[in-house]
Amino acid sequence: MVSCAGCAAKLPPGALAKVLSSLPRQADDPRVILGFENNDDAGVFRITNDLALVQTVDFFTPIVDDPFNYGRIAALNSINDVWAMGGTPHTALAITCFPKEGVDFDILKEIMRGGLQVLSEHQVALLGGHSVDNPQIMFGYAVTGTVDPNKIVANAGAKPGDALLLTKPIGTGIVSTAIKFAKASEAVAASTLEVMLTAGNHAASAMQEFGIAGGTDITGFGLLGHSLEMAQASNVTFEIDPSAIPIIDGALDLAEKGLVTGGGKSNSEFVGDNVLFDASVSDTLKRLLFDPQTAGGLLISVPEEKCDAVKVRLREHYPATSRIGSVKDRAAFPLLVNQIS
């Protein structure tokens, strides 16, 4: 029923960046710790010296056919942004676009029931919401959380010498396209659903425990799109080993068969000449590196001396957690994709 599924429905990041850069700058407000300047997963607003609000909004078109699971994924995708900042989500407002004619409203009930289940599971209070008549179904939440202003995880927190850890495998965009055209097996679809429904709360706890300062949520702009934002915000270069990146079983084969998303093409244009690929990196693998993710994993910049301990802790809840690269001093390219191992 939709032209693009999940986070692949986002506006092209390049076009969005041009719009945002053309807006007049607001007068500096000392209470704003993080706005939209570094493309962080959420904004952070100081309340007191040891308390800040974390605010985000995320909604998208259906990523799976089952309405209940769509609602669950949409809820997790929204609150994951707060966890990505090292924060704790507390409240949510639902955002619903649904056609007033032609689609059974029981479908909307199931979508909202799935979202509410996830919110309740993670002690996030639903306070209300807003709905609009629209031919394409869309659903998500505006979420408010809290964080200690001295313990924020941000795009600008990566330091040279850090290791890069990724908590979930990539490939949800390509698999969702395959599901749409009935080209994904039941096993591939089921494993992808499991990836999307794995919450980021344990990663947030681990980042707080180990004092992590740099990280981001891998969603609609793909692994390389979000890596670029983080590398630029931190004024460093990310060296990524493609052979170390976890990939959803079956996603590489689907990419090889030409199943791609429009969002992946937009992400490739956005990154443009900011990445240098080793000649060994295939076009198929590049498609996955640009693939828009929905409810994806966290990319975490970890001091080298803490890397092994953090990886062990993360694997308790995210078994695919892998070291996929390192942070270097800023070089000619913000992103280097090299076959290292």
Question: What amino acid positions are annotated as catalytic residues?
Answer: 7
Tell me what the mean pLDDT of segment 126-146 comes to. 96
DSSP category for residue 324: E
> Which whole-number Å values give the CA distances from 71 to 2, 98, 316, in the listed order?
16, 13, 26
According to DSSP H, which parts of the chain are helical?
13-22, 67-84, 105-121, 172-180, 186-196, 201-209, 222-234, 251-256, 262-271, 283-290, 307-315
Q: What angle do CA 9, 15, 19 make, to 5 degrees?
A: 115
Residue 70 to residue 111: CA distance in whole angstroms: 6
pLDDT of residue 7: 45
Task: State both tokens at 185.
Answer: 């097996």
Closest by Cα among 43, 284, 283 to 142: 43
**Can you identify the CATH homologous superfamily of domain 155-337?**
PurM-like C-terminal domain (3.90.650.10)
Look over the chain and give the mean of its residue pLDDT values, rounded to a whole number: 92
Domain ranges of the chain: 7-147, 155-337
Cβ proximity of 51 and 149 under 8 Å: yes
Q: Is the dihedral of CA 169, 253, 289, 222 positive or negative?
A: negative
What is the identity of the amino acid at 268?
S
**What is the CA 217 to chain-centroid distance, rounded?**
4
Q: Which CATH number fits domain 7-147: 3.30.1330.10, 3.40.50.300, 3.40.50.970, 3.90.1300.10?
A: 3.30.1330.10
Nearest to 113 by CA among 89, 96, 88, 91: 96
- Report how far Cα 332 is from the mean position of its chain's Cα atoms: 26
Task: Please calculate the CA angle 299-210-76 and round it to the nearest 5 degrees.
Answer: 45
User: What digits encode the pLDDT tens for the residues 10-26?
Assistant: 556 667 767 776 677 76
What tens digit of pLDDT does each residue of 141-192 get? 999 999 999 999 999 999 999 999 999 999 999 998 888 888 889 999 999 9
Predicted local confidence at residue 3, as pLDDT: 52
Q: Of 210, 206, 285, which Cα lies nearest the Cα of 252?
A: 285
* Total number of residues shown for the chain: 341
Please give the Cα distance from 191 to 188 (Å, whole number).
5
**Confidence (pTM):** 0.90
Q: Are 143 and 79 in contact (CB under 8 A)?
A: yes
Residues pairing with 46 in the sheet: 52
For 303, which DSSP code?
A: -
3-state secondary structure of 7: helix
pLDDT at position 168 is 97
- What does the alpha-carbon distance between residue 73 and residue 62 come to, in Å, rounded to a whole number? 9
Give, in degrees to the nearest 5, the angle at Cα 326 between 241 and 271: 65
- Split at pLDDT 50, 70, 90, the class of 63 is confident
